[in-house]
Structures are given as C-alpha cells and as structure tokens.
Structure 1
C-alpha cells in the first residue's frame, strides 16, 4: 500500500500541512522537535513524495484566494470589490469563496488544492476552529477585519481599530449634548461586536455618563436591528442617542423608530459603523464611522506579498482608523 502524506502526519502526530512545510522548506517555519518527528516518520514509513506534484505546487499560480463570510452583507461585498480592484492593479487574479463558520477550515484547505499563492481571510467569527484553520493553512494567510485576539502575534492581519472608532462615534453623540447614549451592539461571539461595544463603554466612562444607558445585542442584520431597536425604544426616555454597531442594524433601527412615529434625529440621534454605500441613501442619511476599504485592501495585499517573498519574517498587524462621516442622523446640519 502506498504511504501518503496523511500517514506520515499521523505517525508524527501533526497535520499534513506541517509535513508539507518540512518537505518543501516552507512556507511556514516548523519547530525543531516537530521537524524531527516528521523526518523520523518519513524514514520509518519509507515515504517517497511525488516530486512532480511538489514542483507543480511550487509553481506560481498568479492568483490569490479570498475567503469571506455571508455574501449577502453589503460591507463584505464592498470589501471584496476593493480587494479585487487592488489585486488587479497588482497583476493578481482573485479566487473568491464564501463560507459559514462550519465550512471555513475546508474552504481554506481548498485554496491549497487550487495552488493559490496566498489567501486573504475574513473569519466568520472567532472560535477554536479559526485557530486550527490558520495553523493548518496550506499557504500564507492574511486575516482581515475580524482578527482573533491572539492572532496578531502569529499571523499577518489588517483591521480597522473598531474600539477607537466606536469610542469616537459615542463621544460625538455626547458632544451633541446627549446624556443618554445607548448601544445596539453586535453578536458577542465576534471580535468586532465585542470591540465596538467596548469602545462605546469607554466613551461613556470618558465623559462620566453612568445612568440611563442600555446595551441590546443584535445580529448584524436589518431584522436584528429592528427587533433589538424595538426592545431598546421601550426603555428610552426621549430625546436619546444610540450608537449602532453596524449600518445594517441601523437600517432596522430606523424602521423601528419610524413605526413608532418618532423622528431621527429630533427624538433619536444615531451614529452607526462601517460606512457602506447605503448609509448615504437612508432617510435621513446615516452618520457612520466608515471603514477605509481601499486602505484595508492595499494593506492586506502588501502583507500577503511580503509573506510570500519571505515566509519566515515576523508577523505584522496593520491597524487603520475608521473615518467619521457625520450626516443628518446624529443631528449634524440640523437647525
């Protein structure tokens, strides 16, 4: 029976990807003890790698992978477009896959099957499977937007400073004179949701706001924003202000406000996050903290190109500021 790379991995108590790194000299470093186990397993089992297949894997394919969650989310669609535009400018083709949380490891592994030079990955959410998928990735990976807390020291990553962006948005509402600044926060299982809620809380502490504020979590969807918005509106005394963790949730909150015969921004002032195109076309136009998509795309592709050229350099994290776009929904421009 032919000995496979998977057989070597089982004998060495590691993954097939690590066996590949030993055989191919990268693209990721392997700890000396692990390398010794792999080399011993190769000798013991008499494994003979397919040199033709190895040569093909080392051939530059000319394209990169992009792994994204939820293709229906406008923010991810706009981010993918920015990455595709920047990749084309650099002479790279982009291979796009969508996944939910349960498929991410498989989809990331598939990038190796099609010989992608590297992968840009926006994780669905932070979980043990995220760490496992990164550890077993078949090619260099740069993590975007939803960067696990412990990933920046080990993997290249690019993200907006969600905490500081939310802090600035909340401070802006306080500076409008509101002492009730509540929060429609995101799902707690996402680092984005936790960071933006933490930024809101920090701004309240900065300004000594301690009473009459509420946090209601919601999915990053209009439906989630409407349901959570109704729950929040039941608690508020008007006029009040709300920091909303995403533009999509803000769409739902705007509807909930209108259905109660209330006015934005007279009764409820709103600042959201992401800066998607739709935020300029709501009624009234949304004030939002815009993510600088061209800069995110350029930073991610630069890190990936550097990693492909030098697999052993230290990991780098690029943090970018969110850009305030203050429109009517927060009270800016109102008489």
Structure 2
C-alpha cells in the first residue's frame, strides 16, 4: 500500500542548508540580520525540499501569523445567506482578498460580528486573541465603529477601514460612492430626465449619505430640483417597496429612480410594473451593487458596479506591504463603474 508523503520539517531544511533552526526561522519570517547569500541558500533548500511553513510554527517564531482577518456584519450577512438573495458581497470580498493574500504567502479569514451588540469589544477581542491576525479589514458599518477601531489601535493591530473617510488610525478606503451616484444621475440627465428620485440607504452607513450627495450635486449642476425626491430604506426589498411607493405617490411625473442597493431597486421595479408602468419607457431605473441577480430581472437592471474585490485587494496589499500605515493621510478611493442594461431609456420629453 502506498504511503502518504511525509511533510518536510524545518529541521530538515536547516540540515539541508547547513544552518541553524533560528536562521531558517528568520528567513521564513523575513526577519532581520540575515545575509543575502545565507537567505538565498536557505530559500534554495526550502524550494528543493518543498517545505511549507505551518501557521503554528510561524506564530511560535514570535513574528507574524500570516493571517489577514476580514470583519463583516453578522446579521446582514446571515440574512443574505439564508434568504439566498443573490448578493455576492462576501464572494467578491474573498475573491480580492484571497488572491492577494496568496500572492504574499498569507491566508485570509472572515469573521462575522454583530453590529448592534454592546459587548462587541469582548466578542472581537476573543477573536483577535485566538487568531492573532497581522491585519484586519473592517467593512461597513464596523469600519466606523469607535469601539472596534479603538480596540484594534490599542492592540497595535494594523487595520483598513472600507467605507470610511474619517481621520485617525487605519487605512481609509471608499468605493467611489459619491462619484458613482453622480455618474448615474448625470447619465439619466443626458437621456433627458428631469425628475430623478433616489432610494437612499440607512443613516448608519456613511456611504448612504455620499450617494445622496453625488445625486444631489448632479441635479444642482443641471439646474434640477431634488425636493421630495429622496426616500430612505435599509437596503432590504421590503424597505425598497415602501420607498418606491412613496416616491411615485408623491411625484406622479417621476421619470427615473436610483436605488442604493439591488434589493431596494428590484422592489422599485416590481412596484412600477404593478402600477402598469413600462420600464424604461415610463420609468428608468438604476441600481447600486450589480450583484448577479440584476442581470436576470425583466428588464435587466442598469447598475453601478461596486469594485469590492479590487478594494479589498488594495486593502490587503496595504496591510501586508505598508504595515497598516495611513496612505499619506489620504483616503484611497477606488472608482466604481456604470453597467448599462435595458432598464434606462430617454426621458419623457426626449422620447
């Protein structure tokens, strides 16, 4: 019977290279005081023997864990998974994070933390103690939770804050929210729309306000009013239904809607169709997120494509190569794009 291949140990590497265990450990963990020639010699033995350092061994070295930890909202993530709504935020986060971590010999892990609990410090503190990550990626709304950011800062753990422009510790990154809303609104204006409503996201997410700012700026520059054209939801389908009804009831001449999430926008599409409105002849609709489900709606939704994978990839790169230091004090803004599909058309007077 064939025997399984035995794992190569750090001792075997040391014997092959003719050096001490400590020297091999310093090379593996990119430690100081190793001559280039010695580093090359040890690396040659590692490559020849096929040695793969274990996380446990790396931790015992007292340097790095080679783990990047991403923190996501527990309640919203579990709800999306259970209801199988077609959202792919976590998928895109893993895509960008895992590929970049792998390139540097790191591993990425995801933990879900409840946004609303009072003992978030205890929960996150236990996770940090167990995993000892070399860096942490915070996603909204955790990225602006002072309890979390102060805990990480206090423990000297580098972290990135996606969806945050605040000054202070950590690397702030945004996904072009204001610019994307401005882009979407301008596209509708170009098509001849003059009454453009928005279904904004919840207030606890700063990006909700940024999107409203971009929408309003585009309207103001075109000399158009925003009065009575802003309704707020919580990113859910149900809230989108209520917001769309309110917008259409209050504005019978509304010709376009921008939704701040795919679920809210799909709800707006259903409300409009229930009222006998043709999309896009009677009402043009643009969504945010561009999750897979919007391609299969009828008609397929034009959507802002959020650069989730790219943003997380940049965050990982910064944490690994820059040690979590601020990016010259500036917010890293990763631009979003607009994917046009059949849900937008000429405005009423341009038809």
Q: TM-score of the superposition, structure 2-length normalised?
A: 0.71
Q: Which has the larger radius of gyration?
A: 2
The Cα of 1:102 is off from its aligned counterpart by 3.1
Residue 273 (str. 1) matches residue 277 (str. 2): no
Using the alignment, how far apart are the partners of 1:86 and 1:117 within structure 2?
A: 14
Secondary structure in structure 1 of the residue aligned to 2:250:
coil
Cα displacement (A) at 1:181: 0.5
Post-superposition offset of 1:186: 0.8
Partner of 1:96: 110
Change (3 A) 1:58 1:158: farther
Per mean C-alpha deviation after superposition, the further-off stretch among 77-86 and 163-172 is 77-86
Q: Matches of 1:57 and 1:223 in 2, distance apart?
A: 52
Deviations 1:14-59 (A, max 9, x none): xxxxxxxxxxxxxxxxxxxxxxxxxxxxxxxxxxxxxxxxx84833
Aligned match of 1:114 in 131, 134, 146? 131
* Corresponding residue for residue 186 of structure 2: 171
Matched, 1:80 2:90: no
RMSD: 2.5
- Write out per-residue CA displacement over residues 153-210 of structure 1, whole angstroms, 9 at most, x where no aligned residue: 5321222121111011011111111110011111122101110011111111010002
Find the partner of 2:66 among 59, 62, 73.
Answer: 62
Specify the alignment match of 2:46 in structure 1.
Answer: none
| Count of residues in correspondence between the two structures | 275
Determine the C-alpha separation between the residues in 2 that align with 1:247 and 1:166: 14
1:18 counterpart residue number: none
d(CA) in 1 for partners of 2:221 and 2:326?
A: 41
Which residue is equivalent to 1:123? 140
CA distance in 1, matches of 2:277, 2:155: 50
Cα separation, partners in 2 of 1:176 and 1:115, compared to 1, 3 Å: same
Gaps of 5+ in 2: 1-58, 81-86
Q: Do the aligned partners of 1:243 and 1:271 also contact (CA within 8 Å) in 2?
A: yes
Deviation at 1:306, TM superposition (A): 2.4
Contact 1:197–1:245 (Cα < 8 Å) also in 2: no
Alpha-carbon distance in structure 1 between the residues aligned to 2:301 and 2:245: 19
Report the counterpart of residue 320 of structure 2 in structure 1: 305
Distance of 2:174 and 2:328 partners within structure 1: 18
Cα contact 1:112–1:138 (8 A) shared by 2: no
Equivalent position to 1:182, from 190, 193, 197: 197
**Given that residues 123 and 130 in structure 1 are in contact (C-alpha distance below 8 angstroms), is that contact kept between their aligned partners in structure 2?**
no
Structure 1 residues 312 and 165 mapped into 2: Cα distance closer, same or farther (>3 Å)?
Answer: closer
Structure 2 distance, partners of 1:92, 1:237, is 55
